[in-house]
Chains A and B, each alone.
Chain A
Amino acid sequence: MSHNETSALEHFLAKLYVDGDARERFLAAPATEAARAGLSKEQCRALEKIDRVGLEMAARSFGHKRASKEMAATSDLSSWRRVIRAFLRVRIFGVFMRRTQ
């Protein structure tokens, strides 16, 4: 497998992971879709035997990750406020303990 062939395969897999329509077309006709994407005969043969259950599970998992990253981006500020509060609590507790010793 050449560098360019591997690169094309990576791109094809990435598309399958993120694009539900592309995944559906692929699962209906794996070799045809892989050939249409310009993959080599060897790669097309390998993709005909793809782990279908794993593909659906992985795609779902990646989708959840992308969604949770978007949610995290919106709640990021409040998280960091919690960190600053935690730092202050520990500092204040340390000062209090030193004074009471």
Chain B
Amino acid sequence: MKMHDRVGVGWRPELASGILANLDRIDVLEVIAEDYFDDAARLRALKTLARQAPVVVHGVSLGMASTTRVDSKRLDKMARVVNQVEPEAWSEHLSFVRAGDIDIGHLAAPPRTSDIIEATAANLLTAQAAVGSMPQMENIATLIDPPASERDEPAWLGETLACANACLLLDLHNLYANAINFGLDPGDFLARLPAERIHAVHISGGKWIGDASDRRILDDHLHDPPDPVYDLLTELAVKCPNSLTVILERDGDYPPIKHLLAQLDRARSAMARGRAANAGATPSRPSVSERCAALEAAK
């Protein structure tokens, strides 16, 4: 079957000029939903943008992997954005962002328990009913292995997606960072995910933090995707039966647009290598596990 893989970038005001001038090299744009929740003028601008390029909508505040019920007011706002813009898809994160009166301020990994799996599925059904479609759910990066977890991350992701019958927005840098930080093999992690549920991918970069005795990768979106992320993308393209939409995320330290376009080209090439391998050709590059081992040895 002919795959129609695409690449795009996260829409950020700082990148707007470069993106608009290069729409012939960018297949799709991803916008942050919350930027349009409370501003009708912005929402109109987004509708104009969506007429110029395919758009997908990405939420960051619903906190659906939680025993806390998803907030109906936020869902209504998400529904308004999705209904007005009519994106190709919308997505959220497998995370919790608040508990009771405490707002964590960002995406936190919940304990990987059966209760959380069931509660997440319930929240996703609520979201589907409110918005009109099921969100694709993204795996998050975490610096802490969530305590009281009953299973590892690949198992938890697979069970959660199956329970909710949802698709995975696979963030390959989050996968890579978590695997390295908590002693999993990134290639094995990827192999354990349900490839048939993957249609969308994020790539980004990060940096090492901490002292030499316990360093971890922080997914800061301020750096280029490292080599293993592109290798993981190739491996994903080998086994994934779906066309993939890959979004490059960058949230600061913005390089010239040419630099980002080169990363999009690299992502296209990485996928093409995987598709070629799937079609019978031999991949010409070492596996992700081999590359990660080499990087670890070189540290």
User: Interface on A for B, CB 8 Å cutoff?
Assistant: 1-3, 5-7, 9-11, 13-15, 17-18, 42-43, 46-47, 49-51, 53-55, 57-58, 61-63, 65-66, 69, 79-80, 82-87, 89-90, 93
Contact = CB atoms under 8 A, between A and B. Distances in A.
A19 to B, nearest CB: 8
Interface residues of B, number: 43
Contacts of B99: 7, 10-11, 13-15
Interface stretch (B137-145, B226-234, B269-277): B137-145
A6 B99 CA distance: 11
Interface of B: 13-14, 16-17, 20-21, 42, 45, 48, 66-68, 96, 98-100, 102-106, 108, 110-111, 113-116, 119, 142-148, 150, 181, 209-210, 214, 216, 218
Contacts, number: 124
B62 to A, nearest CB: 15
Given A3-B119, A6-B116, A66-B105, A42 B20 contact: no
Contacts of A53: 210, 214, 216
Given A82-B13, A83-B45, A58 B147 contact: no
A69 B105 contact: yes
A6 B67 contact: yes
A85 B18 CA distance: 12
28 contacts: A1-B113, A1-B115, A3-B115, A5-B115, A7-B99, A9-B147, A10-B68, A10-B110, A11-B99, A11-B102, A14-B98, A14-B104, A17-B104, A18-B105, A42-B148, A47-B147, A51-B144, A51-B147, A54-B144, A54-B145, A57-B218, A62-B104, A62-B108, A65-B105, A82-B13, A89-B17, A90-B20, A90-B21
- Nearest first, the 4 A-B pairs at minimum CB distance are A54-B144, A66-B105, A86-B17, A79-B13
